Every structure is written in structure tokens, then in C-alpha cells.
Structure 1
Amino acid sequence: MRTLEEIKKAVEELPPEEFAELKNWITELYWKRWDREIEKDSQEGVLDFLIEEALREKKDGSLRDIF
């Protein structure tokens, strides 16, 4: 396994097309990890406070449309 510094140096030496492909792959990986984290937080109830807040605001009439 290469060190992070070796990987960074190799990335800097990539031709533009391969750099773009790597960037797209890393971006996709980032969002997949984000989705997994949100799903885990949701299942564990970490985000329940958001639902409770929205329901409170809807009940008292202070909930506003975003769009």
C-alpha cells in the first residue's frame, strides 16, 4: 500500500483525462459514504430532533415552505 504522500504525488502526475476520471470517482464515493452516514443516523434516531422540530412548527403555524 502506498502512503498518502505517494498517492498525492501520483495524482499530481495524472494526465487531465485520468485526473477528471479520478475526481468523478472520488466525488461519487464521497456521496455514497454521505448517504450511508445519513441512513445510519436516521436508523439510530440521531435525526429525530429534526422531525420533532418540523412537527412542532407545523402545529404552531410557523413552518414555512422552502421554495
Structure 2
Amino acid sequence: MTELLRYVVAEIENLTEEEQNAIASRLLAELENERKWKSRFEATNERQWNALAEMVRQDIAAGNINSIDDVFSSEQ
């Protein structure tokens, strides 16, 4: 276990049982979500990657894109 995780667990131990359960439920949901994404990502085949790349190319050609500077502006 990492030092950061040990620290977080120690902090969580100071919470009420209800708060601990709420955090535990969120963490379990996040872990399940990560498992699902990993599984889907690993199952993606070459045809699917190519189709996704083509969709991106079409969006770029049609001008349906945002500048990275607009997405990640320094004013956030």
C-alpha cells in the first residue's frame, strides 16, 4: 500500500461509520468503473480503432473541433 493510501485510510478511520460507508461505496463504484473501462479498452479491435480514427478525421475536416487552448484555458 502506498503512503498516500495509508494516509487516506487513517483519515477515513476518524470519520463516522456512516461517512466511512459512503466513501467505501464510492470507492467500490469507482473500482468497478475502472474494471469495465479496462475490459472494454482491451477488447477494442483494430476495426473499431480505425472507425474511431475516421470519425475524428471527419470531425476535424468538418471543423467540429475545439482548440486545446479553449478546452484547457489558463483562466480555469
What TM bracket, shorter-length normalisation?
0.5 to 0.7
Of structures 1 and 2, the one scoring higher in RCO (CA 8 A, sep 6+) is 1
Kept after mapping to 2: 8 A contact 1:57/1:63: yes
Change in Cα spacing, 1:25 to 1:39, as seen in structure 2 (3 Å) is same
Equivalent-residue separation in structure 2 for 1:25 and 1:51 (angstroms): 38
Runs of 5+ consecutive residues of structure 2 not aligned to the other structure: 1-14, 72-76
RMSD over equivalenced CA pairs, Å: 2.8
SS in 1 for 2:64: coil
Query: Structure 1: any 5+ residue segments left out of the alignment?
Result: 1-15
In the other structure, the counterpart of 2:23 is 24
TM-score, normalisation: structure 2: 0.50
Match runs of 1:45-60 below 5 Å: 45=44, 48=49, 50-60=52-62
Moved over 3 A (4+): 46-52
Change (3 A) 1:50 1:31: farther
What is the TM-score of this pair, normalised by structure 1? 0.55
The residue correspondences of 1:26-45 to structure 2 (distance < 5 A) are: 26-45=25-44
Identity of aligned residues (%): 12
SS across alignment from 1:19: helix
